Amino acid sequence: MHDGLPDLSMPNEEQVHLAAESFRMLADPTRIRILWALLQGESSVTCLAEFVGASATTVSQHLAKLRLAGLVRGRREGTFIYYAAADTHVRALLAEALFHADHTDRDLADDRDHEHALPAARGGLSSSGPIRNS
């Protein structure tokens, strides 16, 4: 019946559930802004609130949920907590989502040489200017 996909192996129940949960967590413009800001480096609630143009209370609530979902981690230093994106996969998720949005927005073909003019993130994505053909 499904001869077309003989070697297809599906992720297990738990993996699918957790991936869906991650997408659910990311389905919010403010959270995407927060995570994008965190890709530039560690940040505090106060700084993040300024970056994303939301109140510290709102940012705190988003961070708590993102942290529970394993997308963000916190590091306590005295009375401050510094937040960062959990790992390189979170970077990749955000980058790909924004690149894909760029494709949709600019009606870009995947096989044509193109650039993505997203702000460069420290530590992984792009350290020097626009990313080519990604």
Nearer to Zn ion by Cβ, of 82 and 99: the residue is: 99
3-state secondary structure of 126: coil
Q: Which stretch binds Zn ion (CB under 5 A): 19-27, 78-86, 98-106, 119-127?
A: 98-106
Nearer to Zn ion by Cβ, of 52 and 121: the residue is: 121
Q: Which stretch binds Zn ion (CB under 5 A): 22-30, 51-59, 77-85, 95-103?
A: 95-103
What span, in angstroms and rounded, lies between the C-alpha atoms of 37 and 84? 9
Q: Which stretch binds Zn ion (CB under 5 A): 15-23, 31-39, 90-98, 99-107?
A: 99-107
Output phi, psi for 122, to 5 deg.
-70, 150
Half-sphere exposure of 25 (CA within 13 A, CB side): 23
- Least distance between Zn ion and beta carbon 35 (Å): 19
Burial label, 94 (beta-carbon count in 10 A; 0-12, 13-18, 19+): buried
Nearer to Zn ion by Cβ, of 51 and 99: the residue is: 99
